[in-house]
Structure 1
Amino acid sequence: MESLSNIRREKVLAAFIFSLTAWALLYLWLYLVHTIDEKVASTTLSSPLVHASITSAVLAFIFQKKPGALRELAIIVFWLVLIFIYSIIVFNILLNTVPGIYDIVFYYECFLLIVFCGSPVYLLMRMI
């Protein structure tokens, strides 16, 4: 019962914002996948592991003991975005090509896998 009484509005709001952000990121991914006419069921992001990771991250947001989990996770995701953009630029300069839609979808899927599978791990380590 202690853990249920420890749930505050800020924690539920952080979990809600994370859920909305996850939905928006997955919706953009779905749009990109339909743009290249790929089957959604054959992709890694449609696996139950990703959905379980998002659910466990939302629950971890709710049961956090220290405040500021969403802000810290947003900072980590911001740096991941910068690292991915830098990697895309470096790979395409080395290959001397311009990234196409297939490359963008591939990099975006990799980014989403790292974010969605890494978020619950970070939040669970933060609880310790």
Structure 2
Amino acid sequence: MTRKLSILLKDYGIRNFMIAVFFIFVLTAVLLLFELDSKTFNFIEGIYWLTLGVFVLTLLKATPHKYKRLALFTSLILILFSITDFIEIGTGAYWIPWWLLVWNIICVSGLILSLAWYIKLRYSY
């Protein structure tokens, strides 16, 4: 493992991000164990993303100036991502209608962009 990657993995923000991703996988596994129907699963997932987005938005005031735009962008992406889960309750699938699939792809791309943006801000001199 390179030194830069090692430093990155030890970083507090990245560690918390990894914990959040791990929590998503654990939540998914638990929900699958309970054999919930897709509507209940999407509702719980939508509430999770919405809560995370609102939480990031409420932290905006305490966020250092360097990260304010990133926090605002990330919170909006998370809230938009939660809306796709609520729409999915009615449609039954993330790819029906086609624009919902495009919306999901944009949101996931936005989350990846948020992570890359954070890494750039964190390690820029």
Q: Is the TM value for this pair above 0.5? A: no
TM-score (norm 2): 0.38
Highest relative contact order (Cα 8 Å, sep 6+), 1 or 2? 1
TM-score (norm 1): 0.37
